[in-house]
Amino acid sequence: DIQLTQSPSFLSASVGDRVTITCRASQDIKNSLTWYQQKPGEAPNLLIYRASFVLSGVPTRFSGSGSGTEFTLTISSLQPEDFATYYCQQLNVYPWTCGQGTKVEMK
């Protein structure tokens, strides 16, 4: 199975900060990577797919980049509602696998 490693696992930031989360794959997954946001007690929400395509309705402060084995999710200016856990998921090879998550906390 393809392993996805997210870094950092925890991140402390303030409103207005630029935040970057990295997801590294154990092998080439081309651009088949999706990012989700999950708030406590809620289902995840898809933010980014195909590494850089922003799902309709997702705020423009969210962006994604990368291909191959290294990917990033960037929040250009962190808002109060963005404090959550973020997961990457690869869909290039079965079984689809997810990273361990990155929790973004308030500094």
Residues that bind other proteins (CB under 8 A): 1, 32, 34, 36, 38, 42-46, 49-50, 53, 55, 87, 89, 91, 94-101
* Nearer to other proteins among residue 17 and residue 58 (C-beta): 58
CB of 17 to other proteins, least distance (A): 24
The CB-of-14 to other proteins minimum distance in angstroms stands at: 26
Nearer to other proteins by Cβ, of 7 and 77: the residue is 7
Report, in Å, the least distance between residue 7 CB and other proteins. Answer: 14
The values of phi and psi at residue 71, to 5°, are -135, 155
- Burial class of 65 by CB neighbour count within 10 A (0 to 12, 13 to 18, 19+): middle
Q: Are strands 45-49 and 53-54 parallel, antiparallel or unpaired?
A: antiparallel
Q: Which residue has the tokens 């195909």?
A: 50
Phi, psi (degrees; rounded to nearest 5) at 82: -90, -5
In this complex, which beta carbon is closest to other proteins, that of residue 26 or of residue 77?
A: 26
